[in-house]
Amino acid sequence: MERRGFLKSLAGAGLGLGMLPAWGAATPAQAADADAWRAVVMDVDACTGCGACVRACHERTAARVPRPVSPIPVSRWGRDRRSDWWERRQLTDRLTPYNWLYLQTCTVQTARGERQVFMPRRCLQCLNPPCVSLCPLGAARQRVTGAVYTETSLCFGDGQCVAVCPWHIPRLQSGVGPYLHLAPGYLGYGQTFKCDFCEDIIAGDRPPLCVAACPHQAQHFGPYREMVALARQMADERRGDLFGLRENGGTCLIYVSSIPFRDIEAALLRQGLISPGRPSLRPVGASLERENRLVGTVLAAPLAGAALAGLRLLRDHWSEKHED
Ligand code: SF4
Ligand code: SF4
Ligand code: SF4
């Protein structure tokens, strides 16, 4: 996208100097009627790890995550934060900009012996998403359905969404996006990518591609309240555990498992299976504290907007002079 397109997007988003998103304001799903919310119940006991959902999601990422420029611009100040997954775009053993759904697999010791657990992991689609509230350019957005997505024409990969996400879900790809046309090396590092809950598909009340592809009915899609009731019923029937009803204020992805999630988390930790792109299942209190610390950063966000706008004026002035 050219600079002009980026700035048009800013204008269309109602953003500009002094008009950046307000921290603490209700996000679209919070402001909407809960009847509009959609959710997925993920039945961990039914998942066989066949990978059909991962393959279905790849169709989506292939159409949405571009090839980076070569060479990728080097950061001119601070730490070099470039991140390039293009050569590793076929990797499916973790979340990457090119892999939005990952099968987290571990062996758990139960009273009946060892069991292999498969947990499809992706953005949990928080109902009160800090990535949306704290994105300095308003690039992280939410639909009334609860789908959290990225307006890629606005994202310049500063990584705020990664920092504030309790599970560090978004993944950075450098060498793509509008920063290339603004001040590559000075402002931004690329774009962050993650599962968008197939936001356009679920807006028509159709299930996300990964849910539709599951041949073992391990995933269920529907109105949020119905999915919460279903998850509770499934958990009651098998005296199981739930993850997603309370986490980070509630998410649109709700996991049900007969094995407690704290046991799965412990097994993942013991087996060294939690690392960047391989998210934990930890409670999110710690991340909310971090979010509070980040308020200072967000209050400084208008400065980022001012810097971008100032830069645009300078560069437009420079190009006009040279076009004359
Ligand atoms: S899981 Fe992380 S990236 Fe996804 S909506 Fe929640 S805070 Fe945002
Ligand atoms: S909801 Fe859509 S984008 Fe998200 S993991 Fe499933 S197929 Fe991929
Ligand atoms: S398609 Fe269904 S059974 Fe297969 S890995 Fe995905 S959720 Fe599990």
Choose the weakest-confidence range: 150-159, 171-180, 294-303. 294-303
Q: Select from 128, 194, 126 the least CA-distant residue to 155.
A: 194
Q: How close is the Cα of 91 to the center of ligand 3, in Å?
A: 17
Is the pLDDT assigned to residue 9 strictly greater than 60? no
Indicate the residue type of 54.
V
Nearest ligand, measured from the Cα of 216:
3
Closest residue CA from atom 8 of ligand 2? 57
pLDDT value at 311 more than 70: no
4 CA distance to ligand 2 middle (Å): 31
Q: 139 or 295: which carries more pLDDT confidence? A: 139
- What pLDDT is recorded for position 37? 97
**Residue (of 58, 56, 54, 82) closest to 68 by Cα position:** 82
State the pLDDT confidence band at 285, using cuts at 50, 70 and 90.
low
Q: Where are any strands of DSSP class E within 55-206?
A: 102-110, 113-121, 140-142, 148-150, 171-173, 191-193
Please tell me the class of the 3-301 domain: alpha beta
pTM for the full predicted model: 0.84
Ligand 1 in reach of 146 Cβ (< 6 A): no
Asked whether 250 lines ligand 1 (CB < 6 A), one says no
Residue 71: is the preceding peptide bond cis (ω within 30°)? yes
> Where along the chain do its domains lie?
3-301
Give the pocket of ligand 2 (CB within 6 Å): 56-57, 60, 100-101, 122, 195-198, 208-210
Positive or negative, the CA dihedral 261, 266, 269, 272 is negative
The predicted-structure confidence for 50-73, as pLDDT tens digits, reads as follows 999 999 999 999 999 999 999 999
Tell which atom from ligand 3 comes closest to the C-alpha of 54. Answer: 6
Length of the chain: 324
**H-helix or E-strand containing 202?**
helix 199-202
Confidence of residue 2 (pLDDT cuts 50, 70, 90): very low
Q: Is the pLDDT of residue 262 over 60?
A: yes
User: Can you tell me whether residue 285 is helix, strand or coil?
Assistant: helix
Do the beta carbons of residue 203 and residue 143 sit within 8 Å?
A: yes
CA distance linking residue 103 with residue 11, whole number of Å:
39
pLDDT of 278 reads: 98
Task: Say if residue 229's pLDDT is above 80.
Answer: yes
d(CA 129, ligand 1 centre) in Å = 6
